């Protein structure tokens, strides 16, 4: 096959040849994107304004919201623009940047979920030592490590993906997804290295989180009062739901046999892991967490109080 290493553009998957379906894709993706942005921004605003939520758990949650915003903002606006203009090209540098930042935010998200599991472990299993162990300095160092590992992982994946010649420039996806790009390379060694790195990193974090929650649930079941168990579960279950959604959608998208998968199903699987978790995260944390529900009710109560309503009317 002809060597396309020097090409300046990649051709992304056209959602449909029918203009009506392209417009439908535009509105569906736009609605999903706006829901994700508004939900995660609302979570961030609530945590920032309510001093009762200035704890390590919610400090990490704000960063999780930022990562969710980043991951969808890297891929969705370009797809929306492509559908609007019916132009499915992306430059080589744009594709490289999309891969780097998408991997950076997604990998950082996974590392942060691992740190949040440890935070819940200390809070439930060693409550008397929580403020000492999870002090501001420790939380800052953990978060800095998460961001560093995200950048390092993104550099490895991006460098590995674009270090070999491409035998084609037609990406069978609506954004520059690494597995689809690796299928275009003229060598299988890079793909093998990336897969091995992903498996080792993912399994390590997954095993750590599973073991952590075994200890957490064992300790929660020992709490004598029903209210105590409910409070513990109310802070642990949102994290567990978010983590499970993230892991299962990624595994579902990457570990399925893709050789005979129809394009529309392939697109559905990709949307599941790239767009669904960022949409669900604010809903899960606002609906399952008692402190968040109280903070949200306070915020909306102040916004829609009679005084504010009268001020809005005067404006």
Over residues 153-193, the pLDDT tens digits come to: 899 888 888 887 888 888 888 899 888 888 887 765 555 66
Tokens 């990406």, residue located: 171
Per DSSP, the chain holds a count of helices (H) and strands (E) of 12, 2
Question: Strand, coil or helix: what is 46?
Answer: helix
Question: Model confidence over 34-54: pLDDT tens digits?
Answer: 999 998 998 888 888 888 888
pTM here is 0.84
- Residue 239's CB is within 10 A of a number of other CB atoms, namely 25
Residue 2 has pLDDT above 50, yes or no: no
Domain range summary for the chain, segments of one domain joined by +: 9-310
- What are 64's two structure tokens? 């999780």
Note the CATH architecture for domain 9-310: Up-down Bundle (1.20)
Nearest alpha-carbon partner for 10 in 88, 79, 100, 101: 88
Residue 142 has pLDDT above 90, yes or no: yes
pLDDT at 256: 62
pLDDT at 192: 62
Question: Strand, coil or helix: what is 257?
Answer: coil
- Work out whether strand 9-11 and strand 89-91 pair parallel, antiparallel, or are unpaired: antiparallel
Would you say 50 and 295 are in contact if contact means Cβ atoms under 8 Å apart?
yes
């Amino acid at each position: 096959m002809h060597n396309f290493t020097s090409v300046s553009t990649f051709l992304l998957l056209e959602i449909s040849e029918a203009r009506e379906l392209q417009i439908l894709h535009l509105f569906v993706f736009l609605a999903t994107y706006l829901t994700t942005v508004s939900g995660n921004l609302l979570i961030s605003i609530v945590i920032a304004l309510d001093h009762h939520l200035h704890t390590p758990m919610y400090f990490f949650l704000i960063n999780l919201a930022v990562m969710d915003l980043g991951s969808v903002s890297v891929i969705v606006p370009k797809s929306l623009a492509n559908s609007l203009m019916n132009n499915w090209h992306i430059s080589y540098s744009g594709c490289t940047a999309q891969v780097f930042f998408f991997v950076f935010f997604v990998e950082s998200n996974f590392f942060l979920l691992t740190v949040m599991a440890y935070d819940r472990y200390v809070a439930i299993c060693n409550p008397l030592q929580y403020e000492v162990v999870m002090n501001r300095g420790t939380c800052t160092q953990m978060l800095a490590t998460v961001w560093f590992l995200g950048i390092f992982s993104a550099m490895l994946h991006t460098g590995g993906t674009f270090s070999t010649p491409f035998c084609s420039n037609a990406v069978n996806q609506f954004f520059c997804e690494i597995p689809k790009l690796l299928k275009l390379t003229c060598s299988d060694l890079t793909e093998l290295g990336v897969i091995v790195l992903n498996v080792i990193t993912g399994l390590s974090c997954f095993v750590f989180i599973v073991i952590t929650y075994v200890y957490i649930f064992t300790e929660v079941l020992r709490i004598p009062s029903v209210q105590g168990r409910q409070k513990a579960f109310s802070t642990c279950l949102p994290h567990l739901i978010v983590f499970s959604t993230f892991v299962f959608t990624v595994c579902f998208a990457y570990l399925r046999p893709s050789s005979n998968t129809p394009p529309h199903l392939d697109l559905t699987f990709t949307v599941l892991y790239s767009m669904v978790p960022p949409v669900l995260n604010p809903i899960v944390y606002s609906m399952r967490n008692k402190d968040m529900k109280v903070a949200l009710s306070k915020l909306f109560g102040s916004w829609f109080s009679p005084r504010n309503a009268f001020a809005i009317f005067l404006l």
